Amino acid sequence: MSSKSSIKMSVGYKIAMVIAPIFFILSGFVTNFVYKNGKNLYDTNFKSVEYINSINNDINKISSYLAQMATELGVNNRQADMSKKDDILAYAYSEFDNINRAMNSYQKINNLTDLEKRRFNQCRLGIIEYQDKLAYMDKMTSQMTLQELTSVYMQEMKPIQVRTSEMLEAAIDLSSDVAQDSYDQNNRLHNYINYGLISAAVIVELALIVIALKSVKAKKKIAEKNFQLERAGEKLKNSHQKIVDIANINILTDMHNRYALEQDLDAAIGKESFSIGVLDIDNFRSVNDSFGYGVGDEYLAAVAEKLNKEYSNSAKLYNISGNEFCFIFNKDITELQARQMLDLARENASNSFVVSEAVVQCPVSGSFYRYYPEDNLNVNTLLMKLDNALRAAKNSGGNRIQYISNL
């Protein structure tokens, strides 16, 4: 009798030795599958949001350039220097080059849903319409009155820009929803497979009670795998918050972006006085031309890290475009202290940086303004003042700060 039991136990042990490795392999496969699937979902969503956010920022920059052109050509119905128009349009066309590269990169992303592709195609058509309207405005500038130029911008181009930006923001929201749905599906798949594996383990354990003690070790390993799966699930869950952060944070420099700056200015203007400054790296394009975009990005990140390290306790810092940084100084910082800090920041940013074994150094220009509630400015006019002063500093040779008078 004992011999038969021994044989049964031996057979059961062999069966367990065969089934147990299969179970562990399946468990490891599930862990690997869920992790890779989750990572792919996160990478796809991260890239799509990054490209769309970049396109939206460039569209807003173009709108800012055109608003400036309309203002300089149409304010007080005075004749402006038409050469400024050519400079502003050149900036706008260069931003469209960035937009086209970002759109091409977006369309190469794998695993986009049909809805995301259709939504992005609508955005692309809006951008093309906006670019065509810019070309028309450029062509007709010399034939139109100042009032007609302003009217074309405000009544035709501005609505297209607003509509396109809204579609791009909707595309970002859609990507977030798609990411959440994909995470839920991935999590459900994990649960179904895991429930199946657990059920199989229970059946095997009931059938092979003789080796119950040996199954304890297997359960422990399963628990470890499940813990790893839960951690992978938490990472996916947190990716939604990261997507929200992307809307306000520049991914490359980890600074607040132009959208966050406009929100903060809108909350402060008309209520309190503050000092604000802008720094812009002169001849930054030469870095990309000489060393490539990879080195250019590392250089910007190094400059941003230096500025954050030295001045984040005295001001809130923003990266409002590729090579342009903004400072809103704390309330306890006087105007004189703010001027001195901005000039020192300009000197620090102008120092040489070693990135990817290349030594990169560019001069830096800036503008500064002390805002008071009685100045009767809004967000756009304040930023335009700073942009005009920054351009004046660059036109005067660069590597200096243009201070704006309140008079």
Every domain of the chain and the residues it spans: 1-247, 258-403
pLDDT score, position 174: 80
pLDDT score, position 231: 73
Residues 6+ away with beta carbon under 8 Å from 111: 40, 41, 44
Question: Which tokens hold the place of 28?
Answer: 């490891």
pLDDT score, position 170: 81
Strand ranges (E), 215-262: none
DSSP notation for 111-150? T--HHHHHHHHHHHHHHHHHHHHHHHHHHHGGGS-HHHHH
**pLDDT by position in tens, the chain (length 407):** 555 555 555 665 666 666 767 766 877 776 677 667 766 766 777 777 888 888 888 888 777 777 766 666 554 444 545 566 677 777 777 888 888 888 888 888 887 888 888 888 888 888 888 778 777 777 776 666 666 767 777 777 778 778 887 888 887 888 778 777 776 777 777 677 767 767 766 776 666 576 666 666 766 776 777 776 577 557 656 655 566 567 789 888 999 999 999 999 999 999 999 999 999 999 999 999 999 999 999 999 999 999 999 999 999 999 998 899 999 999 999 999 999 999 999 999 999 999 988 999 999 999 999 999 999 899 999 999 999 999 999 999 999 999 998 76
pLDDT score, position 74: 52
Helices and strands, counts by H and E, the chain:
11, 7
Q: Which residue has the tokens 């590597």?
A: 399
Note the pTM of the prediction, 2 decimals. Answer: 0.43
Nearest partner of 393 among 280, 255, 248, 243, judged by Cα: 280
pLDDT score, position 297: 93
pLDDT score, position 113: 84
CA distance 366 to 280: 6
pLDDT score, position 130: 78
Domain 258-403, CATH among 3.30.70.270, 1.10.3720.10, 3.90.1150.10, 3.40.190.10? 3.30.70.270
Nearest partner of 370 among 402, 333, 335, judged by Cα: 335
pLDDT score, position 239: 57
Residues 6+ away with beta carbon under 8 Å from 301: 252, 253
CA distance 123 to 345: 38
Q: For residue 262, which amino acid is it?
A: E
